[in-house]
Amino acid sequence: MSTGGQAEEGVSLAAQDAKIRQWAELNDHEVLSVHEDAGISGSGMTQRSGLQVAIKRVCKAKGTLVVYSLSRLARSTRDTLTIAETLDKAGAELVSISEKIDTTSASGKMVFRLLAVLAEFERDQISERTKLALGHMRAKGQRISRYAPYGFDLSPDGQGLLPNTGEAKIIAKIAKHQKQGRSAGWIARWLTEEGIRTKRGRKVWSPKVVRTILRRIQEAAA
């Protein structure tokens, strides 16, 4: 469950837990343990300790890993199929309540693989629409977070953005360095050595912040 997942999908951790226990009762299964990853925004399997423990326990018990939906299990087709293969090798099974599928039969495995692909396709579409919406807001000079991006300041009403001339000059230099083939890491070191402060007043720049600025430059030019 990512931080915004509950608001977007309306399915809380408590509701997922209740559905899983109900399924177990109806299908004569005993719930050995329940694991959760609350507020995890990262998509990788390694960032989800709850999932890792659940997989180890169900494989050891040769039991069944029950999830509310495939979208709650993993965020990519590769991760989803990797989990399924891991369970299969250990003699364990997988059940997804929302899609009403399980891997105890050949047809169930086929449907599982198809739905995993479709789930990733849907997430990609949502991500694409979100990027377009954010790009539209930036083009209109509207802020999209609590902080103004580098190169801008919040307008008096706290909603719009106003150009910051000094920071705009720095952005121009960053863009120039990129055109010369400099990496984000190199640019971050250069900014730090030059004594230029970040938007939040930090003395040290990170490559991640530089890449964010470069991405905005590309979006503005598109």
- Indicate which CATH number applies to the domain containing 53: 3.40.50.1390
* Coil/strand/helix, residue 102: strand
Contact 59, 92 (CB under 8 A): yes
Joined together, the tokens standing for residue 163 give 């150009």
CA gap 222, 219 in Å, rounded: 5
Q: Encode pLDDT of 29-45 as tens digits.
A: 999 999 988 766 545 66
pLDDT at position 26 over 80: yes
pLDDT at position 75 over 90: no
Residue 138's pLDDT is what? 57
19 and 109 both lie in a single domain = yes
What angle, 0 to 180 degrees and rounded to 10, lies between the N-to-C axes of helices 184-193 and 207-221?
110
pLDDT at position 190 over 50: yes
Task: From residue 17, give the alpha-carbon distance in Å to each of 11, 13, 31, 66, 145.
Answer: 10, 6, 11, 10, 32
Q: Does residue 156 belong to any structural domain of this protein?
A: yes
Residue 8's pLDDT is what? 43
Residue 84's pLDDT is what? 82
115 and 14 both lie in a single domain = yes
* Coil/strand/helix, residue 42: coil
Q: What percent of the chain has pLDDT over 90?
A: 31
Q: H-type helices in the chain, by residue range?
A: 5-9, 13-26, 49-61, 70-73, 77-90, 106-139, 165-179, 184-193, 207-221
Nearest CA to 70 among 61, 62, 79, 57?
79
Q: Does residue 57 belong to any structural domain of this protein?
A: yes
pLDDT at position 174 over 70: yes
Among 126-135, 140-149, 156-165, name the most confident range: 156-165
Residue 203's pLDDT is what? 92
Contact 24, 65 (CB under 8 A): no
Q: Is residue 52 classed exposed, middle or buried when 0-12, 13-18 and 19+ CB atoms within 10 A define those classes?
A: middle
What is the pTM for the complete model shown?
A: 0.47
Q: Which of 39-43, 56-60, 110-114, 176-180 has the lowest mean pLDDT?
A: 39-43
112 and 197 both lie in a single domain = no
Q: Which of 86-100, 107-121, 150-164 has the lowest mean pLDDT?
A: 107-121
Contact 170, 212 (CB under 8 A): no
Q: Does residue 144 belong to any structural domain of this protein?
A: no
164 and 71 both lie in a single domain = no
Read off the DSSP letter of residue 136: H
Residue 7's pLDDT is what? 39
Q: Does residue 79 belong to any structural domain of this protein?
A: yes
Range of the domain at 163: 152-221
The answer for 91, left when phi > 0, alpha when psi is -120 to 50, beta otherwise, is left
Half-sphere exposure for 72 (CA within 13 Å, toward CB):
29
- Lookup result for tokens 């997988």: 94
125 and 180 both lie in a single domain = no
Q: Does residue 197 belong to any structural domain of this protein?
A: yes
179 and 102 both lie in a single domain = no
34 and 127 both lie in a single domain = yes
Q: Which of 17-21, 54-58, 74-78, 171-175 has the lowest mean pLDDT?
A: 74-78
How many domains would you assign to the chain?
2
